[in-house]
Structure formats: C-alpha cells, structure tokens
Structure 1
Amino acid sequence: MDRQQLLQALSPYVRRAWHHKVDRMKLAPRIIFDYELLYVEQGELDIRIGEDSLTVYPGDLLLFKPGIEHEFVRSRGPCWMPHIHFDALYYEDYEEVPINFKLRAECSQQELSWLRPDWLGSLLEIPHLIRVQNHAEIHQELMRLIHAYERRDAEFPLLQKSLVLDILYLVIKGLKSAEHGQLSLHQAAMERAVTHIMEHYNGIIRLEDLSKTACLSLYHFSRVFKQTYDVSPHQFQIRYRMERAKELMMYSRLSLSAIAEQVGYSSIYAFSKAFKSACGISPKKYMSTHASMGAPEIHH
C-alpha cells in the first residue's frame, strides 16, 4: 500500500474514547495493539516512548503506535487527557482486541497477533509527539468524538469514522504547516489564488497574475502553492479542467468537441491528449463507461 491507497482505505474504528482527569499520572511500561491519540489539555507529563524521553505540555498531542513500548513516568499538576484508542483500518477481529497494559514479553501469541501495522507512521509520517498550531481545533473535534462515544447510538459507526478522519486530516495539515511555517501565514493568499484559478479555469492564467493576486513574489508564490496543494498552479488548473470536463461528459448532452472548447482547449486533439494524461483513459472511453450515469432523457 502507498500513501494515496492508505488515504482511500482509512476506515477508523474507535475502541475507546475517554476524557481522563487525574491528580497524578503514572503508567507502567506497556505496548498497545492499536493506536492511542492523546491530547494534553492540562498538566505536564514526563513520558518515555521507545528510547525517547519527552516532556509534554498543554496543547501537545501524542500518538502512541502499535507495538512501541511507552510509559508515563511522572506528572506535575492535575492532568486532563482526552484520548481515543482506535484502529486506522477495518479488521474483522476489531471487537476482540482489548486495550493492553502489558509488556510485549508478557503477551501471548494470540495477543501479539492483534498488533496492527503502523500505517499512520510509515506512510503518513505522523510522529509520536505532535506540536501544531491548530491543536485547539483538533481538541474540539476530539471532544465531539468523546461526547458521541459516551452517547453511542445505532449510527455512531458512521459518525466516529467521520470524526477520526477529520482529526487525522487536521493533524496532517497542522504538521505540514509546522514544517513549512509560511503555509499558515499565507493561507488566505493561497485561497485567493485558487479561487482565481477556479473562476478562470478555462482561460489562460499567467503565473505572474496569480502571484500578484497572492501579493507574493513569483518564486515565493510558486513554492508556497506547491507546498500547500502538492501540485503546481498549472497542474491545479489542469486537474480542475478535467473535473469540469467529467461533469459535462456525465451530465450534459454536449459533444466532446463542445466540451473541449468549454473547458479551455482549442481542439479535441489537445483536450483528448490532456485528459488521457491526467486521467489514464481517453475521453471517449470515460464517456462510454459513465454513459449510464448521464443526464436523464427529457420527454415532452
């Protein structure tokens, strides 16, 4: 599985959600079989994860990963620690897996078979210690999840998936901003540039005009845009053109030539070449595959 496949496959299952409040916190060394995401709302904690000793403060998040030994060494002041135990993917034995408090050497073979792969660390590169500017937003979603978990209804499986996915999205975005400090600083500028692309997607968009819209130098704009959206402005425009073309192929009665012209191509040849490069199939093939999903016939 690669990163993109993992993002498509994520199907979280929350094993436990709890707003843990204690006067003092100490936990003997252990491993867990799943993930635990913990937010330090109040208090200071000395923690060991693997061979790393950490001191964490309010606003910090911790992601304890499957099979990695950790312990809570000591705390200072009352500790408020909302946290969840969860699987990132769907497993058939999800109901059997307990929250573990033992060392690896103390676990049976059956228990060790419950260890999940660490996809969030290996592919999404989420570290054990998460320090991000948007931690308050993550905390808000975490508390929503804990509240819903405590009042579980028949539809909770849907809600818990959406909330965990939202939390993971916020974590990844927060880490990206922390790595590239200017991303949060220029968020509004990038939004203006993207809005400009979407409003003029079928025309010629000059990089110089976009950089002026964002009030940034050409070099700085190009670098921040790529860091924010993982594609260049031109690639973003092409991707947006292809999405609009797909909509027209599925839900309109326009010919391919008319669609090509409407999304900004001077010839059907240029459009077909760009579409196949971006989508992996020809426009004709896409149109025939999705013909049954097209606009309904109108009878007078």
Structure 2
Amino acid sequence: MHETFAMAADRKNLLLRLSPNVRRAWNHRAAEAVLKPRILFDYELLYLEKGSLQVRITEDRYTLEPGDIVLFKPGKEHEFQGIAGECWMPHVHFDALFYDNFEEVPINFKEWKDCSEAERNWLRPDVLGRILHMPDVMRIPNHSEVHKCLVPLIHAYERKDADFPILQKSLMLKMLYLLAKGLEMNENSRSILHQDALDNTVTYIMEHYDQTIQLEHLSKIACLSVYHFSRLFKQKFGTSPHQYQMQYRLEKAKELMIYSRLSLTAIAEKIGYSSVFAFSKAFKLAEGIAPREFMKTFSGI
C-alpha cells in the first residue's frame, strides 16, 4: 500500500494515541448462535477457534472458518445467520481510544433505527478501519498469535484485579499490532519470503554503522538484486538502507552525547563522519537543533 504523507501522518498519530479499554471479554462456546441485526457503539474482535459461522455485515455475507478474525466496527449493522456444529468464538468488546465515558457505554443489541439520540451519541469513530484500513474479516497467517493474546486477556478479564487496566491495554495493543502485521504480510507476500534476509542486512548495518556501506554489498547479503533489495527494504522499514544507517548513526551519537565525556570531534569520528562539521550539519538537519545545544540540554550547562 502506497501512503501519501498525510495518510502516513494520520497513521502515526493514531498509533501514538491508541489506548484500548476492554468492555467485555468472553470465551463463548455454543452449538447454536443467534444474533439478530444490531449495531455496536464500540468494537468487537471475534476469533473463530472451532466450527463454521455465517455472518452478515451490512450487505456482505461471510462464511467463517477456524482461524478467521472478525472486527465488528462501530455503527456497522451485522448479524449471525447460521452455524455448523459447535462454535468456539472467544471475543472482546473494546474502545480503541480512551474515552471518559467508557464505563457508561453498554454493549448494544439494537438496530440503529431503534437507538435513542443519547445512545447514538455513544457511537465511536471507526479509526481502525478508516486510518489503519483493517477490514471486517481478516484471514492472516499469524492468526494463532492473536489467539494466544486473546485467551489470557479473557482469563484476566474474568479475574480482574486492581492492575487489570495495565494488562488489558498491553494485550489489546499487541493484538492490534499483530493484526496490522498480518494484513501487511497478506499485502506484501513477496517480502515475507525475504524477511530473514532483510533482517540480516539491518543487523549488518547496526554492526557496521560507522563504515561506508555500499548498497551493492547489502543486496549481496540479502541475495537480491539492488533494485529488488531497495524496494523490499523500504517496503518493510519505511526508509532506504542509506537513510536507515544515517538515522542509526545519529541515535548512536545522541547516546554518546548523553552518556559519555567524548568531544563532538571524537563522537563524529566514532560514528563514521569525516569531520565534525559534516556531523553537525547532518545532526541539525535531522533533529532541528545543533549538537552542542543538544548536549547542553542534558549536561545542565
């Protein structure tokens, strides 16, 4: 997926603001499943562990099989239309963002037309669908990892202690991360074949960040052509190999400026710059502040 700058900014902003709260978590198992048409004010994440389930979401109909994940979204009408055999469907109702009225909002079982004005005001925005592009039904290769987070979340919900909010947020965030990565795997199936190779080149960059690394050398490590390596690297890490190295160098520089007594000249040399002038120029361009000003911030000078 090629994102515009605005779309990428919206995505980053949302990822920083995610603060999920679980409204209900239930390890539901049933030989019969009846759910009349309704809308939700929040999200429901359902994992089909066993059985076969037919659902309708707005005008679309799906036959769910084990491993399928459904994200019922705020305001989208849905219903269960059929079930084959016993269905195991652990699920969780949650808000993706923090809302002060979290505890006031119930799980809804009515259609939109039957909701009062006050109830309609509880409707959350669908940020996961609109900004993260999460579909209603997900068939992703890492679905079992999602299930491994969902089960302990349900157990923790059933035994809620005072510190449950910390655990439920961490598990929900991990599940959202796994969903995003699973969808990315589906979209970039070719890059999956080269995951280890790409990771190896990043390790090489980290271990040799103070040296001049040729693109051709990295592509040989990955056993890919320069063109395909560059494309797949940027697809996975969001930046070019050269930019990745420059960013890593500057992070190392900041670490040395904060925790060592080295001079700027020594730091510049240590991280691979030909001169302190070249280092200072690159640092200010990336960070918006000169290295000496950065050092003063942490030294108290």
- Which TM bucket (shorter chain)? over 0.9
In structure 2, the residue matched to 1:141 is 149
Q: What percentage of residue pairs aligned between the two structures are identical? A: 60
Q: Are 1:287 and 2:299 counterparts?
A: no
In structure 1, the residue matched to 2:83 is 75
Q: Are 1:174 and 2:182 counterparts?
A: yes
CA distance in 1 between partners of 2:171 and 2:123 (Å):
23
In structure 1, the residue matched to 2:206 is 198
CA distance in 2 between partners of 1:244 and 1:88 (Å):
34
CA distance in 1 between partners of 2:172 and 2:136 (Å):
17
CA distance in 2 between partners of 1:103 and 1:246 (Å):
55
Q: Are 1:22 and 2:30 counterparts?
A: yes
Q: 3-state DSSP class of the match of 2:104?
A: coil
Quote how far apart the aligned CAs of 1:250 are. Answer: 1.6
Q: 3-state DSSP class of the match of 1:222?
A: helix
The amino acid across from 1:93 in the alignment is N
1:117 pairs with 107, 111, 125, which one?
Answer: 125
In structure 2, the residue matched to 1:297 is none
Return the TM-score normalized by structure 1.
Answer: 0.93
Quote how far apart the aligned CAs of 1:283 are. Answer: 2.2
Q: Are the structure 2 counterparts of residues 264 and 175 from structure 1 closer, same or farther at C-alpha, using a change threshold of 3 Å? A: same
The amino acid across from 2:35 in the alignment is L
Quote how far apart the aligned CAs of 1:126 are. Answer: 1.0
CA distance in 1 between partners of 2:39 and 2:56 (Å):
12
Question: Superposition RMSD on alpha carbons, in Å?
Answer: 1.5
Q: 3-state DSSP class of the match of 2:102?
A: coil
In structure 2, the residue matched to 1:183 is 191
In structure 2, the residue matched to 1:277 is 285
CA distance in 2 between partners of 1:262 and 1:178 (Å):
41
Q: Are 1:253 and 2:265 counterparts?
A: no
In structure 2, the residue matched to 1:298 is none
CA distance in 1 between partners of 2:132 and 2:290 (Å):
32
In structure 2, the residue matched to 1:207 is 215
Q: Which moved more, 1:250-259 or 1:99-108?
A: 250-259
CA distance in 2 between partners of 1:172 and 1:134 (Å):
10
In structure 1, the residue matched to 2:103 is 95
Q: 3-state DSSP class of the match of 1:2?
A: helix
The amino acid across from 2:173 in the alignment is L
Quote how far apart the aligned CAs of 1:132 are. Answer: 0.7
The amino acid across from 1:143 in the alignment is V
The amino acid across from 1:137 in the alignment is E
Q: 3-state DSSP class of the match of 1:81?
A: strand
CA distance in 2 between partners of 1:90 and 1:101 (Å):
23
CA distance in 1 between partners of 2:289 and 2:129 (Å):
33
The amino acid across from 1:57 in the alignment is E
1:224 pairs with 200, 218, 232, which one?
Answer: 232
Q: Are 1:59 and 2:67 counterparts?
A: yes
CA distance in 2 between partners of 1:197 and 1:84 (Å):
41
Quote how far apart the aligned CAs of 1:183 are. Answer: 2.6
Quote how far apart the aligned CAs of 1:280 are. Answer: 3.1
In structure 2, the residue matched to 1:107 is 115
CA distance in 2 between partners of 1:170 and 1:280 (Å):
34
Q: Are the structure 2 counterparts of residues 36 and 235 from structure 1 closer, same or farther at C-alpha, using a change threshold of 3 Å? A: same
CA distance in 2 between partners of 1:119 and 1:183 (Å):
27
CA distance in 1 between partners of 2:272 and 2:89 (Å):
53
